Amino acid sequence: MTADDFEKALRPALADNDLSRRERSAVLQLLAAAAPDEGLLASYRKVAFKIAREAAADPAAREIIDMLDEVNSMLIARRPITRAYFSPGENCANQIVQLFERARRTCDLCIFTITDDRIAKAIVRARDRGVRIRIISDLGKCDDTGSDIPDLRELVRVTTAPCDGLMHHKFALFDDERVLTGSYNWTYSAATANYENVVVTNDASTVRQFREEFENLWQALGERQTAATR
């Protein structure tokens, strides 16, 4: 459900400046069916405040609505949000790509393998925007047919775990604001055939724990790091 769709659903409900219990239930059902991500939820919120501003004839009332909008934004920004995605299907892969597209500063990956070129290309696009990328991957998987790690090694910092134990993690940190984890391998077969999952959360405590694990692994494997050549 797009922001325009949400506006079309909300405007009739607020035509009498009163959201009845029945109308509220209908809107909540729409939201549950849409399962919007953080970006869409933010756009829905903007729609609701836009409608309220249009309905407020008094300039002082519009100023109060502006203040409430700002306070609401601050509260939402601090609210932990956790979402789950499942395969087969494109939901998991799409969510991974979207997180790279939204990244502004850093992406730290601890991933068993990468063979899905859509994800590899999203990593490269983030790097080209100036996002700092670090990857920890499994040494034994790097030379598999179709692995994207050798090409990524030429562009971003990569370190690999030795073969005496699998680097079987599948998690990634984005801007130290959210972490993605789950069973999902970053491969085409995970999207097309396997029953897998990813979970994305901005819960600060969870993000911090994954950050600590990544940094511990990165330091432990430091002697195997390869700096980008360009």
**Catalytic pick from 108, 138, 141, 170?**
170
Nearest to 88 by CA among 178, 183, 173, 200: 183
Tokens of 217: 């692994």
pLDDT (0 to 100) of residue 186: 97
Residue 128 annotated in active site: no
pTM (2 d.p.): 0.69
Residue 175 annotated in active site: yes
Contacts 24+ apart (CB under 8 A), 90-93: 90/191, 92/182, 92/184, 92/190, 92/191, 92/196, 92/197, 92/198, 93/118, 93/119, 93/186, 93/190, 93/191
**DSSP-assigned beta bridge partners for residue 133:** 107
**Catalytic pick from 66, 175, 176, 203?**
175
Residue ranges in the chain whose pLDDT is less than 50: 223, 227-230
HEC secondary structure over the chain: CCHHHHHHHHHHHCCCCCCCHHHHHHHHHHHHHHCCCHHHHHHHHHHHHHHHHHHCCCHHHHHHHHHHHHHHHHHHHCCCCEEEEEECCCHHHHHHHHHHHHCCCEEEEEECCECCHHHHHHHHHHHHCCCEEEEEEEHHHCCCCCCCHHHHHCCCEEEEECCCCCCCCEEEEECCCEEEECCCCECHHHHHCCCEEEEEECCHHHHHHHHHHHHHHHHHCHHHCECCCC
82-224 topology per CATH: Endonuclease; Chain A (3.30.870)
pLDDT (0 to 100) of residue 177: 92
Nearest to 222 by CA among 149, 159, 167: 159
Tokens of 169: 């993690």
pLDDT (0 to 100) of residue 225: 52
- Tens of pLDDT, residue by residue over 153-181, are 999 999 998 767 899 999 999 999 999 99
Annotated domain spans of the chain? 3-77, 82-224
pLDDT (0 to 100) of residue 77: 63
pLDDT (0 to 100) of residue 229: 36
Residue 138 annotated in active site: no
**Catalytic pick from 168, 169, 176, 203?**
168
